[in-house]
Amino acid sequence: MRLSEHGSVLGIDVGYSARRKTTGFCALSWDARTVRWRCENAGVDERNRHDTLRRVLPAAQRQLLAVAIDGPLLPRLHSTPRYRCAESLLSRGAFGKRGKPGPTNGGSGRDLHAHATRLAHFVLQECGVEAAAHVPAIHARAIVEAFPNLFLGVLCDEADYPAEPHRQRKWTDTLYNWPPGDPVIPRKLRSLLESLLPRRAIGGEFDIKDHEKIASFVCALTALSVAANRFVAVGCARDGCIALSLRDLWGRGTPSSVPWAERELRANLPRVAADFPHCEPAVYEDGGRWSLA
């Protein structure tokens, strides 16, 4: 699907601290000549979020092609925390030590799910969002679940994958600047942007340090990938899917040149299907569905 000559997408990193501004908004917009983005952080107060969103998205850009939110989202934005196929598919095998998602029904997952759902409704109220044209869709509007840890993680070669950071939330920050000294991941993100929006000057900075701004920027790239229908989605129709970057950029496995994430997902599909008999675990790519063969 070719993107329109001009447009906007929005990425949201979900935060719910009562004291600090831990919700990140990143608006990525483009015209025929340039692509730009702006990231700002907000607190949990509705007025503060409203004002922050207005700053990153001027009135002319509030008709969004897609929105990607870093938090568990169920079909039709239902709020029913449960352990999902997507989490299981991205937690087994090598994924288990590479920034896997937490369970929606445990730990901080319940709060993250509740606040992600709240933010989805907030954006639908504040902005126009185009009808969903991607597969699989969880809502009539183009709202998807992002997961920056593995959107970035699948881009890493297996041989160079970083060790687990001391704190879980640091996976995204570590991967975004990996490897130190000569970071490959920002170059791959630039390649992604140039492939989805070719022949445009890049008017934004990749050198981002703040955690929420990094995560919201990766969510905006997720939304852009979905708007272009060039992405991989992992999960099932019943429980929703997590969107990942396009497979052309995935990191190589060891010793095979087959992407390690593809190898692991193909191994995990039948195992998760056996454990989730009420679902049909699947991996979707650019609107099609992977064969189990």
- Confidence at residue 176, expressed as pLDDT on a 0 to 100 scale: 96
3-class DSSP state of 204: coil
The Cα 29–Cα 25 span in angstroms is 13
Q: Which of 99, 92, 104 is nearest to 14 (CA)?
A: 104
| pLDDT tens, position by position, 245-272 | 999 999 999 998 899 999 999 999 999 9
Q: Which of 149, 154, 132 is nearest to 64 (CA)?
A: 132
In the chain, where the domains are located: 7-289
- Confidence at residue 107, expressed as pLDDT on a 0 to 100 scale: 86
In sequence order, which ranges of the chain are alpha helices (DSSP H)?
A: 46-56, 85-89, 109-126, 148-153, 170-176, 184-196, 211-227, 260-275
- Confidence at residue 92, expressed as pLDDT on a 0 to 100 scale: 98
Which parts of the chain sit beneath pLDDT 50? none
pTM of the complete model:
0.97
